[in-house]
């Protein structure tokens, strides 16, 4: 039982980290301890411009109903190691996603209103919900994946008071239920024994801002609370409190100095007497300072540098410089290119933390306003802390597959490295502003010779390719 818990934690850490990457290619939401990991959902579902069309006006509100579906092939449903090729389970996958969002009138619709006004609104509101029905169909004889059938969801509720004023106030909540198979020994056994990474994340936020001089200077303070609950790995459940502050000083019309600082309290909800995965409470701190803005009318630059320390109560800790550098080139009105590098520290379910060193690039091209192409790719070195017993000392039995890969493992500190490579191509033909037909190809791989303890026999490397075609209608 303990071996399965450790292996489940290993796969959840490494797959969950990949989902974070796919959900935030830039690698810097500014809140590394509260990443909701949205990467396994449809690309269009994460793009608000696609999710919400022009809307249906009713009074001072816009209604945005929508529905989408996609169908395709998943080469490795459970992120099984390539060394266990006989246990890799490909599948056909179907997702159906109805959505409904409502908001106060946007700037464009308000300007075109029968009674336009230049007065700033007192309140901006946005809320909505989306459901994601997931179905997997096994393509191998005698293998049924019907037990994976499940319903995901996303919801948001946000109130922004006095936008554009000297003093502003915001409060909101977001919920994501992400359906993601994985965390089992190559799917050995009956479908009912499948161990998944399905999880529910609830994030609450309150924020106050001081922005005098029409936003030339802006100072924000806030508090987040996040609960993450797994369906089948309760030892990974956690509750995180985060206080943060952000400063922006715009010393040129479109260029600003920025600073941000975070202090969190991460608490795992597992019982240390029954769960031996070695997850411990922590008080991580992060700060970054830098420059963001335009170099020219077509080139923008972001450069941030800072420091992060994790302060876990037991086990390994990170204490390291962090930063991000990104350049974006707006080639013309229909195309843009972006590239950069990010180094940060993120919470892990495997060894307390990982340090991410990731380069990334993306390209967007629009053809006649009808066809849109997005290409994203990245490669990163991920440095994991050592695995522990419940008392915090390094876990014995850590192993590597061969001396060739053993260079990724430090026998003294018991820390290890893994390399992740990912790429996504998304294309959509938009018949009009409501209807679109799209296709997505996503490939990702994790390269590591690590073997989970205590027996040192469970590999955690994997390769996965997903190809989907879909349709959507969003008003």
**Residues 7, 10: Cα–Cα separation, whole Å:** 5
**Residue 136, in any domain of the structure:** yes
The answer on pLDDT for 401 being more than 80 is no
Name the pTM for this structure: 0.85
Stretch (H or E) spanning 352: none
Q: Is 75 helix (H, G, I), strand (E, B) or coil?
A: coil
Give pairs for 455-461: CB < 8 Å, separation 24+.
Answer: 455/3, 455/397, 456/397, 456/398, 456/399, 457/399, 458/3, 458/7, 458/10, 458/185, 459/81, 459/83, 459/84, 459/401, 460/10, 460/11, 460/14, 460/81, 460/418, 461/81, 461/82, 461/83, 461/418
**386 in a domain, yes or no?**
yes
Strands 199-210 and 167-178: antiparallel
Residues contacting residue 371 through CB under 8 Å, at least 6 positions apart:
427, 428, 429, 430
The predicted structure's pLDDT at residue 400: 54
Tokens of 347: 């919470």
Question: Distance between CA atoms of 193 and 197, rounded to whole angstroms?
Answer: 13
Structural domain contains residue 115: no
Quick: pLDDT tens for 119-128.
Answer: 788 999 999 9
Mean pLDDT, the chain, whole residue set: 82
Whole-number Å distance between alpha carbons of 168 and 156: 20
Distance CA 448, CA 80 (A): 13
Stretch 186-214: mean pLDDT, rounded?
75
> Would residue 45 count as lying in a domain?
yes
pLDDT digits (tens, 9 = 90+) for 289-325: 999 999 999 999 999 999 999 999 988 999 999 999 9
CATH number at residue 321: 2.40.160
When pLDDT is cut at 50, 70 and 90, the band that residue 408 belongs to is confident
Q: What is the pLDDT of residues 338-355, one digit of tens each?
A: 999 999 999 888 788 999
User: In the chain, what percentage of residues exceed pLDDT 90?
Assistant: 52
Q: What is the DSSP letter of 431?
A: S
Structure tokens at 217: 């200077």
Summarised one tens digit per residue, pLDDT across range 86-105 is 788 899 999 999 999 999 98
The answer to whether position 375 is within a domain reads yes
Please tell me the distance from the alpha carbon of residue 439 to that of residue 428, in angstroms, as a whole number.
6
Query: What integer pLDDT is reported at residue 110 of this predicted model?
Result: 54
In this model, does residue 28 exceed pLDDT 50? Answer: no
Decide if 264 contacts 284 (C-beta within 8 A). Answer: yes
What pairing do the DSSP bridges indicate for beta strands 399-400 and 371-384?
unpaired
Contact 359, 25 (CB under 8 A): no
3-state secondary structure of 33: helix
Whether residue 339 contacts residue 379, with contact meaning beta carbons closer than 8 Å, is answered with no
Q: Tell me how far apart the alpha carbons of residues 276 and 390 are, in angstroms, rounded to a whole number.
A: 5
State how far the Cα of 464 lies from the Cα of 90, in Å rounded to an integer: 9
Q: How many Cα atoms within 13 Å fall on the side-chain side of residue 3? A: 12
Count of the separate structural domains present in the chain: 1
SS3 assignment, position 255: strand
Give the whole-angstrom CA distance, residue 422 versus residue 400. Answer: 23
DSSP designation for 445: E
Is there a domain that residue 113 lies in? no
Q: Using alpha carbons, select from 401, 316, 400 the residue that is nearest to residue 355.
A: 316
**101-112: pLDDT as tens digits:** 999 986 555 555
- Are residues 72 and 469 in contact, defined by beta-carbon separation less than 8 angstroms? yes
Q: Within a domain: residue 114?
A: no
Residue 337 neighbours by CB under 8 Å, 6+ apart: 328, 329, 331, 361, 362, 363, 364
* CA nearest neighbour of 207 among 239, 160, 175: 160
Residue of 357, 348, 339, 273 lying closest to 310 (CA atoms): 348
The label of the residue with tokens 């820390």 reads: 415
Residue 112 lies in a domain: no
Burial of 413 (0-12, 13-18, 19+ CB in 10 A): exposed
pLDDT score of 420: 93
Is the bond into 127 cis (omega within 30 degrees of 0)?
A: no
Neighbour count for residue 308 (Cβ, 10 Å): 24
- As a whole number of angstroms, the distance between CA 78 and CA 65 comes to 33
Which structural domain range is residue 25 located in?
2-107+120-474
């Amino acid at each position: 039982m303990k071996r399965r818990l450790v292996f489940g934690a290993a796969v959840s850490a490494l797959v969950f980290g990949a989902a974070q990457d796919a959900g935030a290619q830039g690698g810097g939401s500014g809140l590394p301890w509260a990443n909701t990991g949205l990467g396994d959902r449809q690309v269009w579902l994460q793009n608000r411009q696609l999710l919400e069309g022009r809307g249906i006006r009713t009074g001072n509100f816009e209604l945005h109903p929508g529905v989408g579906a996609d169908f395709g092939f998943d080469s490795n449903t459970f992120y099984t190691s390539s060394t266990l090729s006989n246990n890799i389970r490909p599948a056909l996958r179907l997702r159906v996603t109805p959505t409904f969002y409502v908001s106060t009138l946007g700037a464009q619709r308000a300007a075109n209103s029968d009674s336009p006004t230049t007065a700033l609104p007192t309140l901006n509101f946005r809320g909505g919900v989306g459901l994601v029905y997931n179905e997997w169909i096994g393509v191998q004889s005698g293998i049924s994946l019907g037990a994976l059938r499940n319903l995901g969801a996303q919801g948001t509720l946000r109130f922004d008071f006095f936008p554009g004023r000297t003093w502003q106030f915001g409060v909101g909540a977001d919920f994501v239920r992400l359906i993601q198979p994985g965390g089992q020994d190559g799917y050995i056994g009956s479908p009912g024994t499948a161990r998944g990474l399905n999880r529910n994340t609830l994030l609450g936020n309150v924020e106050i801002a001081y922005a005098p001089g029409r936003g030339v200077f802006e100072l924000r303070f806030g508090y987040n609370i996040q609960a993450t609950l797994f369906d089948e790995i309760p030892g990974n459940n956690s509750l995180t409190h985060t206080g943060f502050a952000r400063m922006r000083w715009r010393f040129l019309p479109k260029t600003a100095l920025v600073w941000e600082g975070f202090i969190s309290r991460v608490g795992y909800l597992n019982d240390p007497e029954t769960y031996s995965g070695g997850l411990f409470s922590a008080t991580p701190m992060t700060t970054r300072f830098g420059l963001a803005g335009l170099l020219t009318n077509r080139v923008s630059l972001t450069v941030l540098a800072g420091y992060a320390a994790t302060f876990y109560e037991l086990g390994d800790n990170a204490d390291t410089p962090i930063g991000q550098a990104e350049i974006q080139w707006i080639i013309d009105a229909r195309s843009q290119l972006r590239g950069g590098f990010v180094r940060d520290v993120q919470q892990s379910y495997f060894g307390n933390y990982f340090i991410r060193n990731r380069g990334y690039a993306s390209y967007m091209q629009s053809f006649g306003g009808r066809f849109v192409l997005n290409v994203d790719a990245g490669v990163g070195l991920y440095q994991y802390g050592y695995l522990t017993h419940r008392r915090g000392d390094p876990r014995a039995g850590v192993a590597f597959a061969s001396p060739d890969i053993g260079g990724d493992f430090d026998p003294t500190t018991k820390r290890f490295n893994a390399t992740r490579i990912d790429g996504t191509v998304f294309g959509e033909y938009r018949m009009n502003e409501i209807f679109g037909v799209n296709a997505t190809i996503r490939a990702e791989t994790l390269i590591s010779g690590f073997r989970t303890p205590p027996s040192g026999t469970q590999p955690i490397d994997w390769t996965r390719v997903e190809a989907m075609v879909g349709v959507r209608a969003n008003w």
